[in-house]
Amino acid sequence: MKFSKTLLLIPFFLISAGRLFAQKPTFNFVINKKGDTIKCDFKRPFLGKLRYQPIDANSYIKITTDDIKEYYTVKDSSLTVAAVLPDKTNPEFVTQLERGRIKMYEKVVVTYSQYGSTYTYYWYVNKGNDPLKQLKATTIFTDGSRKERKNMFAEMIADDPALMEQFKADNDFSIKRLQYYVHQYNEDILHPQGRQVNDK
């Protein structure tokens, strides 16, 4: 018998928070649906969802997508955001790896059985406010073939022609390499420095 559970773990490919923020935060915080940033402490019960306690408050509050749209933990420099995954209608929390015109996310599903636990990683990208698309996963059950997913991402970065051609010629489809292209694209948009980037 098997059952699965989605967990928010330390990202498979650790990155610097500098890729997400102009200046790395030095405190834990949550951002609620109103857009308010609340400094806080976190506590995860042995069984149950993560909770936060606003500074100077006396009680912990359960973190749900109904009230919170993102939160940051200093301990592992990770940013968690509420996002709607492909073929889903309700948001769930995923780790955000890159933030810019193109954003990159990671979801981890842990499957438990009598033989132990298995970790399956999924990575998603989206551009601007477009819906998320699956880019890669550590399972054979993916959203389209590798060629289809590579073409999807090439189209996503087509307004950076030089980077797109570099990506199309690259046979490395590892998550580390894919994250490089997401990060480089966002850097090129912010700092073209002579590169031909279409601003749209």
Q: Which of 26, 8, 19, 128 is nearest to 70 (CA)?
A: 8
What residues contact residue 152 under an 8 Å CB cut-off, 6+ apart? Answer: 133, 135, 144
From first to last of its 200 residues, the chain has per-residue pLDDT tens of: 444 454 444 454 444 444 667 678 899 999 999 999 999 999 988 778 899 999 999 999 999 999 999 999 999 899 999 999 999 999 999 999 999 999 999 999 988 888 888 999 999 999 999 999 999 999 988 888 999 999 999 999 999 999 999 999 999 999 999 999 999 999 999 888 756 666 55
Per domain, the residue ranges of the chain are: 3-140
Residue 33 and residue 69 in contact, taking contact as beta carbons nearer than 8 Å: yes
Confidence at residue 14, expressed as pLDDT on a 0 to 100 scale: 43
Q: Which residue has the tokens 């790896």?
A: 97
Question: Can you give the pLDDT at residue 15?
Answer: 46
Confidence (pLDDT) at 197:
63
CA distance 160 to 177: 17
For every residue of the chain, DSSP letters joined together read --EEEEE--S-SS---GGGT-SS---S-EEEETT--EEEEEEE--SSS--EEEETT-SS-EE--TTTEEEEEETTTTEEEEEEPPTT-SS-EEEEEEE-SSEEEEEEEEEEEETTEEEEEEEEEEEETTSPPEEEEESSS--SS-HHHHHHHHHHHTTTSHHHHHHHHH-----HHHHHHHHHHHHHHHH--TT------
Report how far residue 91's alpha carbon sits from residue 110's, in angstroms, rounded to the nearest whole number: 19
